[in-house]
Amino acid sequence: MSFAELGLNDHLLQALSEKGYQEPTPIQAAAIPAVLEGRDVMAAAQTGTGKTAGFVLPMLQRLAQGPRVRANSVRALVLTPTRELAAQVEDNADYYGRHTTLKTEVVFGGVKINPQMQRLRGGVDLLVATPGRLLDLHSQNAVRFDQLEILVLDEADRMLDMGFIRDIRKILNLLPAKRQNLLFSATFSAEIKALAKDLVHNPVEVSVSPENATAHTVEQWIIPVDKSAKTRALIELIKRNAWYQVLVFSRTKHGANRLVAQLDKAGIKAAAIHGNKSQGARTRALQEFKDGDIQVLVATDIAARGIDIKELPHVINFDLPNIAEDYVHRIGRTGRAGSVGEAVSLVSLDELDLLIEIERLTQAKIERREMEGFVPNNSLPDVAIKAPRKPQKPKKSKPEGDQKNRGDDDRKPKAQRQRRRRSPSGDVNGNR
């Protein structure tokens, strides 16, 4: 099947050809026709499956057929959980729409709001935004929704994990009742299904991979190691295998900073990306990593959301995540779009419960490989996989605290706050 067979116009086909894309991915083949028909869509898709193009391409085509956008108005809105993902989506929209007259923009927190207000004055056909900054702009009359035709919630599961449910519901109340709704999520938890009930109407449901499964293009294994030896093991692993362009996940912001200092001391050029870094610093670090100027990028889960690096070869879990679903998102940074990647987890005995939860979620045993010179004093037991737990009924959301100063993706995830007592890192605040 070709993109032309999906019904896309010549302007979009030309942009796809210039980008080197010939055939749609499964999520694109399923979602594009449904969006073009004006149907609501509820899609489950892992990162790296091409889902962004799956909604951006048909949205651009529908917008090209509609009226001219008015001042400060928006015709299509994409909500994302993080700054990096917002920028990535807008980059894609800008590229695919390069042969059209449509205007795309992105707005997020962590940067000055006035330039964003100025860019919205002439109206925007497709706006990508994080929830907090969008509400700030609306409160200052910088953006209007009377022309809104299409709403997309991208990575909706992450937005709920990060405590954006109240902001999302506020935004929904501002939008016209008659609109097309597209919901994309890596997993369909009970909370996502509850949100979808109020959002999508008679949707086309799309699922391109088993729920909570990890990509088959990613080779995964565990290296059992004592906690005190993790840093030395990481340095040895990178040097021994001559790995370059390695994305390392740390559970906390402070841990990420500390690890970068230790890697630099060992002669491995590294940078950290997390919520305490300014947007400028995060953007620079990501670009240097993409350009090959730095060898290792150390990231927290929240900051890494939206990182899209073509053919990223290696992902290392320096710490296992507190939330099992985050493991799927982490290793999904590699093995994208059919390329092969490696995901290695350095696991100490105090993380056994977290490992059990990951294997229970994915219903797959992760291979253990001992590393010469780093065999742990306390071995890692091999525990049988149990059936995944049934999802609990979603609880009513509580106030998230001060909403005036929104850092968007810098707030602590709700699930992280709920589980902070069990954090094996000893960081009772669960800082990322």
CATH topology of domain 218-362: Rossmann fold (3.40.50)
**AA identity, residue 37:** E
Q: Report d(CA 327, CA 25) in Å as an integer.
A: 23
- Evaluate if pTM is beyond 0.75: no
Reduced to 3 states (helix: H, G, I; strand: E, B; else coil), residue 417 is: helix
DSSP-assigned letters across all residues of 33-79:
HHHHTT--EEEE--TTSSHHHHHHHHHHHHHHTSPPPPTTBEEEEEE
Count Cβ atoms below 10 Å from residue 39 Cβ, excluding itself: 17
Pairing type for strands 41-44 and 180-185 reads parallel
CA–chain centroid gap for 32, Å, is 21
Specify burial of residue 231 (Cβ count, 10 A radius: 0-12, 13-18, 19+): middle
Residue with tokens 């993380």: 351
DSSP 8-state symbol, 393: P
CATH number corresponding to 4-207: 3.40.50.300
DSSP-assigned letters across all residues of 193-234:
HHHHHHH-SSPEEEE-S-TTPPPTTEEEEEEE--GGGHHHHH
The domain limits of the chain are: 4-207, 218-362
pLDDT at 83: 87
Q: CB-side exposure of 398: number of CA atoms within 13 Å?
A: 5
As beta bridge partners, residue 207 has 44
At residue 316, φ and ψ (nearest 5 deg) are: -125, 125
For residues 300 and 253, the answer to whether their CB atoms sit within 8 Å is yes
pLDDT at 209: 56
At residue 204, φ and ψ (nearest 5 deg) are: -80, 120
Reduced to 3 states (helix: H, G, I; strand: E, B; else coil), residue 395 is: coil
Count Cβ atoms below 10 Å from residue 337 Cβ, excluding itself: 13
Q: pLDDT tens string for the chain (432 positions)? A: 789 899 999 999 999 999 888 889 888 999 999 999 999 999 987 666 788 999 999 999 999 998 999 999 999 999 999 888 899 899 999 999 999 999 999 999 989 999 999 999 999 999 999 999 999 999 999 999 999 999 999 988 888 877 888 999 999 999 999 999 999 987 777 778 888 888 899 999 887 754 444 555 678 999 999 999 999 999 999 999 999 889 999 999 999 999 999 999 999 999 999 878 887 888 888 889 888 899 999 998 866 665 666 668 889 999 998 888 788 878 877 755 455 678 999 999 999 999 998 888 888 889 999 999 999 988 888 777 766 555 444 444 343 333 344 445 444 444 444 443 343 433 333 333
Distance (Å) of CA 140 to CA 35, 113, 205:
32, 10, 37
Q: Do domains 4-207 and 218-362 have the same CATH topology?
A: yes
Residue with tokens 């969006």: 35
Mutual angle of helices 83-96 and 10-19, in 10-degree steps: 120
Q: Which value, to the nearest 10 degrees, does the dihedral of the CA atoms of residues 415, 417, 421, 425 take? A: 90
For residues 220 and 214, the answer to whether their CB atoms sit within 8 Å is yes
Length, in residues, of the chain: 432
pLDDT at 47: 64
pLDDT at 292: 87
pLDDT at 157: 84
